[in-house]
Amino acid sequence: MGNNVFDGDKLIREIHLLEHGRPRTDMLKDAIVQADQAGDNYWRMYMRFDYISEQYFHGDAVKCIPVVTELENVFKENPAAVERHKGDTLGKEAYIMAVLLGINSISCIPQVSLEEWDKLLNSLYSLVKQFGMAERSYYWQVFWRWLYVDLDKAEEYIVSRIYKS
Please indicate, yes or no, whether residues 121 and 160 belong to a single structural domain of this protein: no
Residues of the domain holding 165? 134-165
pLDDT tens column, 23-74: 999 999 999 999 999 999 889 999 999 999 999 999 998 898 889 889 888 8
Distance CA 146, CA 142 (A): 6
Q: pTM value? A: 0.79
Please indicate, yes or no, whether residues 41 and 116 belong to a single structural domain of this protein: yes
Please indicate, yes or no, whether residues 79 and 39 belong to a single structural domain of this protein: yes
Distances from the Cα of 49 to the Cαs of 9, 115, 119, in angstroms?
A: 15, 24, 20
Please indicate, yes or no, whether residues 79 and 107 belong to a single structural domain of this protein: yes
Please indicate, yes or no, whether residues 101 and 88 belong to a single structural domain of this protein: yes
The sign of the CA dihedral 72, 78, 81, 87 is positive
pLDDT tens column, 5-27: 899 999 999 999 999 999 999 99
Nearest to 163 by CA among 140, 132, 133: 140
3 domain-assigned: no
